[in-house]
Structure 1
Amino acid sequence: MNQDQVFTDWKEREALAEAMVPLIGSLHREKNVETSVYGRVLNKRSVIDILKAHRYVRQVEGNELSVFETLPVLQAVDKLDVRNAHVDIGKLAAKFANSGAADLEGFLKEEMADAIGAETCSGTDVVLFGFGRIGRLLARLMIEKTGGGQSLRLKAIVVRKGNATNDLEKRASLLRRDSVHGSFKGTITIDEENNTITANGNVIQVIFADAPDAVDYTAYGINDAVVIDNTGKWRDEAGLSLHLKSKGVSRVVLTAPGKGVKNIVMGVNDGDITSDDTILSAASCTTNAITPVLKAVYDQFGIENGHVETVHAYTNDQNLIDNYHKGDRRGRAAGLNMVITETGAAKAVSKALPAMEGKLTGNAIRVPTPNVSMAILNLNLEKETDKEELNSYLREAALFGPMQKQIDYSNSPEAVSTDFVGSRAAGVVDALATIANGKRCVLYVWYDNEFGYSCQVVRMVQKMVQCTLPAYPKSV
């Protein structure tokens, strides 16, 4: 192609992507349908974002996916009245092409029969107890997902009253601007008289309280709510049970490892969630990052034992400059030092994956980056393998397996930590770094320890209240 032809082709693709935007939006608002291309979410994305999502496919499939292939799928999904589903138009387009079928609409009717005209699940009130790094990202995610008015409805945040006279504006400003994750995609206004923040039409009550049992949520029209405690202050059953004493609360989720409660890693042991559970823990970001990959490897090759080394971004628990800290080494300046510290993630894996009990050791190194971490899994396997076989298996697990929302896959030779900011996967296998020889392997797993973990928390709450959107095509 000459330059003019290349540019003409680009303009045609751009026009098709522009045609996708209103379809994606109406499906989300009117039918509660989320759309994606090979796991890259398209809801509320720009034309360029849509084209980049298609371009990404060449990394994992070898060939770039075209909007010429996916737009007809999107149009057919809309025509068939698909409702309350997560639809990966990229994977459906590829599956249709490989099926040899001639009738796209007939293919999709059979593929998504359960979603055509599906009933809507009722919305669930959610309260964020605490509004720190994880709390604000959870807010962004839930606001993003309320286009159809279903699923999780963020009704309130609970914080301690600050000393500033413009406390509400400061809370809103932290939601509006983020040094790592960028600006909030939408509009935010505040109502100081009623103590509310309105984000993209979602009216969020701001409640000031110091204790979990000190709020009457029904006074704000909140009932049967899930409280997501992201303060980290109460971590055992006794402390978390205090939330249940507040009127309007029926369930509690902890965004940290819990003691005496179920620790859930979505994709691994979420089958342990029952309708009787009122308190659950979403474990830690590192446990969420490594456990799905470990389960995938264990299921195929077996694991005799291993060591997990976490290279972790610094957190608010560390000191900005050298100062007293009750923990060893964490008192030294976080922005200047690599800091060796402990991690309970290796031992915590067995809470979600009992087969790993006593098989893993672990340590952590905090490094001077604000977000995105890496886990290095040094494993002794029960079966022999090599790099090509192991990577091929993990690629399939990431694209088509039951843990495809938890495991992602990268084979970019230029990928560095900032490239994974905003990743929705619990962990991303860096295929080019994989080492495998006989019964020994080393895997490198990137993870956005803030956003990727927050996505796991939202998935867990959706499973808890039974409003997880079924995904199409169905995993193998």
Structure 2
Amino acid sequence: MAEKSQEHLNSWNQKIATAENLIPKIGRLYRECDVVLSVHGRSLVGQSPIDIIKAHRRLRHIANAQLSLQDTAALIAELELLGPPPLSLDLALLQQNFLAQDKPLKEFLTAQIATITAQKQQGTDVVLYGFGRIGRLIARIIIDHTGSGNGLNLRAIVVRTGGKGDLDKRANLLRRDSVHGRFHGSIDVDYDNNVIIANGVRIQVIYSNDPSSVDYTSYGINNAILVDNTGIWRDREGLEQYLKAPGIARVLLTAPGKGDLKNIVYGINHTDITDGDQIVSAASCTTNAITPVLKVINDSYGVAHGHVETVHSYTNDQNLIDNFHKGDRRGRGAALNMVITETGAAKAVAKALPEFAGKLTGNAIRVPTPNVSLAILNLQLANATDRDTLNARLKEESLTGKLRTQIDFVTSPEIVSSDFVGANRAGVVDGLATMVNNKTAVVYVWYDNEFGYSCQVVRVIEHIAQAHPAHLPATTVA
């Protein structure tokens, strides 16, 4: 028994040692080449040895998956020698393709990299107007993605002045988060210049109550993409105020847009954005969570009609305790009640997927949890199927499909909402909860309504900036 115990410990320590050796190489490829390495969508950049091991262990749930830490080490060693262009590289899928052909690893990787079109080598300025729940998470993601600086560069945040100690409070809200934990890195404050420096990224803090009054060029900011996180203006007329400010070229709204604004769900209709679209919307967290799943189901079986019920965490819009609120029921204490309210997500799906026009109804229940929500899709299908077949299709999409960066899939019998805090996919299908009876399907989709949505927003920003790294192996979404 003692020998067995030592054997297990030795095996574990060897894995730790291998993962430790990978960390500086993963970091160097990211900093010097803008190469993001992942394992089935789980980024390895900035991860601990244990996180790297866990990313590889997840493959044990996937049939025919073959990727060991040694395989990863071999792939990374060749990549370092080749000096690849900026790309997002999925090691698991790449290894799968390598095993399917008969070429030496160097020859295989050289041929794969040759298919990548060179990206522009110039960063794009980003300004965050508003620095609340979504704004701070977008900031964290962009800072994590800064790399060599040739992608998105967070240059400024614009807020209303909060009085004495405002700069420290803004920095501390970025540094610590009750839901998402501490900021991964270091944060300093330059009080003389109203600047927050996060992991070397210099962020100008600008105080303003008027969207059109700021001269961003005076801060060295030019042709920037401004992300509105306030939701105060949601139509073209209101959001056009930002374009009057020198230095701003495009505007992205992090809320459902009204009127003729394009509502974009990355992975579904982001290619509808044209160079002439100065203002677009990133839709809502719920729309982003359910639209990719609905597309897969509709493409595979057809959806005649359906109902979406969203069990949604409370938001800052609700009252902490009972008080006046202009919205029905939202005045009641958010942390004490389940609150039935409306959601526009069902109708908003049709803005990204026109084939769903008039097919979906929706409602929402706000519940006393601070983050992570659950969408229940009750669908009448055009073609009959069964639970295992539907689940297999959604799982396949989450691993190798065009929407693998939007859809995840889990089958744990013990998983609960808090397990999805920090999930970077738009939605996560709970396979064990799926129910199918001939042409009736009920599918449960978890989503981190803060972080998962913010990841989708950043993907849209990268697309507008033409800064999204090419995918290897290729996907038509990138």
- TM-score, length of structure 1 as denominator length: 0.97
Q: Quote how far apart the aligned CAs of 1:55 are.
A: 1.4
Q: 1:114 maps to what in 2?
A: 115
User: In the TM superposition, what are the counterparts of 1:60-75 in structure 2 within 5 Å?
Assistant: 60-61=62-63, 65-75=67-77
Identical aligned pairs, as a percentage? Answer: 56
In the aligned structure 2, how far is the partner of 1:69 from the partner of 1:123? 33
Structure 1 position 120, deviation (Å): 4.0
Pairing of 1:390-409 with structure 2 (within 5 A): 390-409=390-409
Matched, 1:229 2:228: yes
Does the 8 Å CA contact 1:60/1:409 hold for their aligned counterparts?
no
Cα deviation, residue 100, structure 1: 4.7
**1:396 is aligned with what amino acid?**
E
SS of residue in 2 equivalent to 1:95: helix
1:178-217 mapped onto 2 (5 Å cutoff): 178-217=177-216
C-alpha distance in 2 between matches for 1:259 and 1:383? 34
Q: Using the alignment, how far apart are the partners of 2:213 and 2:61 within structure 1?
A: 51
Could you say what secondary structure the match of 2:17 adopts? helix
Match of 2:47 in 1: 45
Aligned residue in 2 for 1:84? 86
1:72 deviates by 0.8
Aligned partners of 1:60 and 1:410 also within 8 Å: no
SS of equivalent residue, structure 1 residue 395: helix
Asked whether the 8 Å contact 1:56–1:64 carries over to 2, the reply is no
Contact kept? 1:435, 1:442, Cα under 8 Å: yes
CA deviation after TM superposition for structure 1 residue 155, in Å = 0.2
- Offset at residue 63 of structure 1 (A): 5.8
**Alpha-carbon distance in structure 2 between the residues aligned to 1:326 and 1:34:** 46
Q: Distance in 2 between matches of 1:467 and 1:146?
A: 11
The AA in structure 1 aligned to 2:379 is: L
Q: Which residue of 2 aligns with 1:173?
A: 172
Q: What's the counterpart of residue 450 of structure 2?
A: 450
CA–CA distance in structure 1, aligned partners of residues 291 and 116 of structure 2: 30
Corresponding residue for residue 95 of structure 2: 93
Alignment of 1:283-362 (within 5 A): 283-362=283-362
CA contact (8 A) 2:119 2:469 kept: no
Q: CA deviation at 1:64?
A: 7.5
Q: 1:398 to 1:287 in 2, by over 3 A?
A: same
CA distance in 2, matches of 1:384, 1:472: 35
Displacement of 1:86: 0.3
Work out the number of aligned pairs and report it. Answer: 473
Supply the RMSD in Å over aligned alpha carbons.
1.4
Q: Specify the alignment match of 1:368 in structure 2.
A: 368
Contact 1:372 1:420 (8 Å CA) reproduced: yes
Residues of 2 paired with 1:150 and 1:100: CA distance? 34
| Shift in Å, 1:79 | 1.6
Deviations 1:122-174 (A, max 9, x none): 110000000000000000000001122111100000000113x1100000000
SS at structure 2 position matched to 1:204 = strand
Distance in structure 2 (CA, Å) of the matches to 1:231 and 1:409: 32
Pairwise CA distance, 1:58: 2.2
Tell me, what secondary structure is at the counterpart of 1:87?
strand
In structure 2, what residue type is equivalent to 1:108? L
Greater Cα shift, 53-62 or 387-396: 53-62
Question: TM-score normalised to the size of structure 2?
Answer: 0.97
Shift of 1:242: 0.2
- Within 5 Å, which residues of 2 pair with 1:228-267? 228-260=227-259, 261-267=261-267
Q: Which runs of 5+ in 2 are unaligned?
A: none
CA distance in 1, matches of 2:54, 2:196: 33
Letter in 2 for 1:10: W
Cα offset for 1:294?
Answer: 0.4
Q: What is the letter of the counterpart of residue 72 of structure 1?
A: A
Once residues 329 and 255 of structure 2 are traced to their aligned partners in structure 1, the CA distance between those partners, rounded to angstroms, is 22
One-letter code aligned to 1:106 = E
Cα drift, residue 76 of structure 1: 1.5
- Aligned mates of 1:197, 1:250 — CA distance in 2: 24
Q: CA deviation at 1:30?
A: 0.4
Tell me if structure 1 keeps the 8 A contact 2:33–2:85: yes
61-70 or 19-28, larger mean C-alpha shift: 61-70
Cα distance, 1:13 vs structure 2: 1.1
- What's the offset of the Cα at 1:62? 7.1
AA of the residue aligned to 1:146:
T
- Cα distance, 1:277–1:35 mapped onto 2, change above 3 Å: same
- Match of 2:466, SS state, is coil
**Displacement of 1:42 after TM fit?**
0.9
Residue identity matched to 2:15: R
Q: Aligned equivalents of 1:18 and 1:61: distance in 2?
A: 27
Q: Secondary structure at the match of 2:146?
A: helix
